[in-house]
Amino acid sequence: MLVLSRKKDESIVINNDITIVVVEIRGDKVRLGVEAPKEVPVHRREVFEAIARGEPVDAASVVAPAVGATGVDPEAARAAEQPAPPRD
């Protein structure tokens, strides 16, 4: 296993067409943005394992790309996960 250190807004590139960006570091959590071709499936490990076991996957568990077929825009992903403002 290759182990790399990255800071916020730094990235790694895999196979010239997949980019992983450190979007945010908060405490012991790291938020990553993944930019990959549409045909490359990208899942969290627990979703991947459920799919491999043939289990139905809740649509809320799968995050759709925020920017067309090219991958996830880290800014759009961050905005999508912000809590909704309170309603009057």
Q: Would you give per-residue pLDDT tens digits along the chain (88 residues)? A: 999 999 999 999 999 999 999 999 999 999 999 999 999 999 999 998 998 998 888 766 666 554 433 444 555 554 444 444 555 5
Looking at residue 70, what is its pLDDT?
Answer: 41
For residue 63, the model assigns a pLDDT of 60
Structural tokens at position 29? 């959590």
Question: Are 8 and 23 contacting, i.e. CB atoms less than 8 angstroms apart?
Answer: yes
Q: What integer pLDDT is reported at residue 37 of this predicted model? A: 95
Domain limits of the chain? Answer: 11-78
Q: 0.85 exceeded by the pTM?
A: no
The b-or-e profile of 23-37 (16+ CB within 10 A means b, else e) is beeeeeeeeebbbbe
